[in-house]
Structure 1
Amino acid sequence: MRSVGELIHVHVHHGQPAALYWQARRYPVNTVLDTWRWAGRWWLHDPPRDYWLLEAGITAEIYRTRTAGQLNWVLARIAD
């Protein structure tokens, strides 16, 4: 997998990612392969992150984090 680290838009349905929007393309989520929570480096006051590993035409690792009340989605890594 290669690192990306870009903010993306994610359509959520029933609390799960249903589609990713990246580089002007829509990637519908076919399968959620795994989910986990990274608690963050508490000593640096990192906010926790919720991760998903998805099959969406590409294999994508995304995470959700809340910073200053703002919910952000990041495309962490992809395998295409």
Structure 2
Amino acid sequence: MKATQQEVSVELRAGRPVRLTWGERHYPVSLILDSWRYGGRWWLGEAPRNCFLVQCGTLTAELHQESVPLGRWFIARLQD
């Protein structure tokens, strides 16, 4: 997996990702491989976040959402 931090839009159902939009492309989530809560590096001012490792066809993405009001979604790691 390569490290990245690109913003994405994520559609949720019951609090879990079902589709992500990255650039102009839409990727339906076929499988959630893992989920966890990351506390953030508080000493650097990072907000805690919810994390999901998802499979979207041949694309595997680690998605993070900042746990603040209207927290942004971003891809932390990606493998295609």
Query: Does the alignment reach a TM-score above 0.5?
Result: yes
How far apart are the structure 2 equivalents of 1:28 and 1:53? 13
How far apart are the structure 2 equivalents of 1:64 and 1:54? 13
Which structure 1 residue ranges, 4+ long, deviate > 6 Å from structure 2? Answer: none
Asked whether the 8 Å contact 2:50–2:67 carries over to 1, the reply is no
Q: Partner of 2:3 in structure 1?
A: 3
Q: Which runs of 5+ in 1 are unaligned?
A: none
Q: CA RMSD in A?
A: 1.3
Normalised to the residue count of structure 2, the TM-score between the two structures is 0.89
Deviation string for 1:9-59 (max 9, x for gaps)? Answer: 001011100001012111000000000111112233321011100001200
- Seq. identity, %: 38
Q: Which runs of 5+ in 2 are unaligned?
A: none
Aligned length in residues: 79
Normalised to the residue count of structure 1, the TM-score between the two structures is 0.89
Q: Partner of 1:32 in structure 2?
A: 32
How far apart are the structure 2 equivalents of 1:41 and 1:75? 17
Q: Partner of 2:55 in structure 1?
A: 55
Q: Partner of 1:65 in structure 2?
A: 66
Partner-residue secondary structure (3-state), 1:43: helix
AA in 2 matched with 1:47: A
